[in-house]
Amino acid sequence: MNIFYSKLKKVPSLNKEELFLYIFESSPDSIIQIVTHAGLTYSGCIVNIGITRDEGKTIILNLIDNKGNFADRILHISINRIESVELINKKEIIEILSRGKITEGEHYEISGKLEVKREIQGLSDSLLKIYGLNIGVPEITIPDDGFKLNRISKLIGIIQKVFQDILKEEDALASWKTKYNSIVFDEGEYLDVKGAASVLHIYFPFNNLDAPLIEQKELTHKLMSVL
C-alpha cells in the first residue's frame, strides 16, 4: 500500500462544519465538490462562511464551470443541506483531512533490489577508493517492497554524503580507521549511532515510509560522538 493511503488511515473523522472551516481558514484556494440533499452537484472554492437566523451555518462557493474556470456564479447554501463533500486535489487531501497534523511527506517511486545493492556496494567502494577504508559491504535487510527500496536508496545517498563530509577531517578519518572495519544499518524507531566491537551501527526506520528522511546535521552530530 502506498504512502498516500497509509496516511489516510490516520486522519480523524471531521464533521462538515469542521471540514469547511479548516478549508476556508487554511486552504482557501482548494477546489471542492459538494452534493446537496436534492442530488445537485456543485464545484468551487469557499469564499465565506457565516450564520443566518433561518438556515444556521452557511457557506458561499465561487463556482467553476466545466472547463475548470471560475464563473460569475456564487452559491449560498446551508451546511445542513449538503449531503457530501469531495476533495479534488490529492496533494491537499491529507493536509485538509488531518487539519495540518499530517503532511504528505516524501514521495517514493519504485526501485529494484539490484539497484539498491549496487548503491550499497558503491558506498563501500567510494570509502575504500577515496579514504582507504575497507569496510566490506554494509549490512542491511533488503525488503521486497519497491517503495521501501526507493526509500533505502535515498537514505544511502544521504548517509554517503554525510560520510564524505566527516571524513574530510583528518582526525575523524584517523579515528574511524582505528575503531571500525564494518557498518551495519539496523532498523530502529529513530536515528541513533553506536559503535561496538569494531562495528559501526546506524539505527533508523529504513523501512517506514511514513517517517521523515535522515537529517544530515543530526547524523553528523551522532557520528562525530562515536569517533
For 120-155, write each residue's pLDDT tens digit.
999 999 999 999 999 889 999 999 999 999 999 999
Which pLDDT score is estimated for 80?
A: 93
30/22 Cα distance (integer angstroms):
11
Element (H, E) at 129: helix 113-131
pTM above 0.85, yes or no: no
* Buried residues in 132-148 as b, exposed as e (16+ CB within 10 A): ebebeebebeebeebbb
What is the structure's pLDDT at 103? 64
- Kindly state the average pLDDT of the residues 52-68: 90
Arithmetic mean of pLDDT, 179-188:
94
Q: pLDDT confidence of 91, banded at 50, 70, 90?
A: confident
Q: Which of 10-14, 51-55, 75-79 has the lowest mean pLDDT?
A: 10-14
Average pLDDT over all residues of the chain: 91
**Rounded-to-integer distance, Cα 89 and Cα 70, Å:** 16
C-alpha cell, 29: 484556494
Distance CA(149)–CA(115), nearest Å, equals 9
C-alpha grid cell, residue 225: 560522538
Residue type, 114: L
Proportion of the chain above pLDDT 90, given as a percent: 71
Q: Based on the number of CB atoms within 10 Å of its own CB, is 160 exposed (0-12), middle (13-18) or buried (19 or more)?
A: middle
Tell whether the model's pLDDT for residue 180 goes beyond 70.
Answer: yes
Confidence of residue 104 (pLDDT cuts 50, 70, 90): low
Q: Which residues of 27-52 are buried (b: 16+ CB within 10 A; e: fewer)?
A: beebbbebeeeeeeebbbbbeebeee
Please state the φ and ψ torsions of residue 147, each to the nearest 5 degrees.
Answer: -70, -40
pLDDT of residue 1: 47
Average pLDDT, integer, range 53-60: 91
Q: For position 105, what pLDDT does the model report? A: 65
